[in-house]
Amino acid sequence: MGRLEDLVNLVAKSAEGVEFSTFQIGTRVAEDLKEREEALWRKYSLEAPEPIGREINREVGRMFSEITGKEFSRERPEVVFILDVELFGVERVISPLFIKGRYRKLERGIPQTRWPHRECGGRGCEKCNYTGKQYPTSVEEIIGEVMKEASQATNYKLHGMGREDVDALMLGRGRPFVMELSSPLRRNLDLRALEKEINRRAEGVVEVEELQYACREDVRRFKEVRGHKTYRVRIRSLGGELDEEKLKKVLSLLPSSPIRQRTPERVRHRRADRVRVRRVYKAALEELEGSEATITFVAEGGLYIKELVHGDGGGTTPSLSSELGVPLEVLQLDVLDVAEESPKEG
């Protein structure tokens, strides 16, 4: 306890070069010290003794706060300093920085997140040109690399409110997302300037807007929210020309039927194989040209639209294909809107 000032100086040294406003102190106490402490508790029959580690945390935290003006926080510390009183050292743990916003994806063939090469598992091989990646880039990388550079983070991870297929566009207001930045040295960022820089470097492939600071609870909420999504789908009949009257009738009836959908085989490598029940809120024919049609769907989050169209070999019932009685294929899919709430009835 006579070396508390030395411990405070160690913490101050460890804090150099890091932007933060809240902190927490933790202490590792040697086992022999714990044993001596517990022996004293027993000797004097102490009912509610305070461990020495807790006293060190409080005193070092108080002194560090006085000399730096930083605020001690038990709930949301931006940095945690862990003291080792035996080795007389400090371990610094920087909490992640979360930034949320919306992104639009304006080019096909780009996945939402980094995708390890299937054959080598991300290790790198001749087929992936030793990049370890299935695709050259992703929405996550396009946004994350700029944020990583600005915050001086060690890594990043994109959490999206759902995801679009690699070959689909994400249009309209964009998809809500949270970027989690690991161990950032900078937290006070100019988000408007960051937004502009991301869009400049993306060169029209991806656009972001509405950037603002977020927290871990936002990530949890994004994973739980189902809401609804609006899609524009270009389809083709493999059984000849489509009958406009019949197609409109089938589309009008889809919202009245619960859609039972088994996880498509194409995504079972990352999704549990089970049957989900989802809803179509609206289905409207936009254009019909012979065997091809453009349809707009408003559907509950979690409904796979491609499988709603072609049926996935009976994995989705009812499907547009099964109700029309003709095989269908999806030529093009665009996401027009992602909303956090379900549409109002009526």
Residues annotated as catalytic are: 165
The burial class, CB within 10 Å (0-12 / 13-18 / 19+), for 332 is middle
Query: In the block, which residue shows the tokens 């927490």?
Result: 24
DSSP 195-231: HHHHHHHHTTSEEEEEEEEE-HHHHHHHHH---EEEE
Q: Which two tokens stand for residue 276?
A: 């989900």
Cis peptide before 318 (omega within 30 of 0): yes
Query: In the block, which residue shows the tokens 């590792």?
Result: 28
* Run of H or E residues at 247: helix 244-253
Q: Which two tokens stand for residue 209?
A: 């807007």
CB atoms within 10 A of CB 215: 14
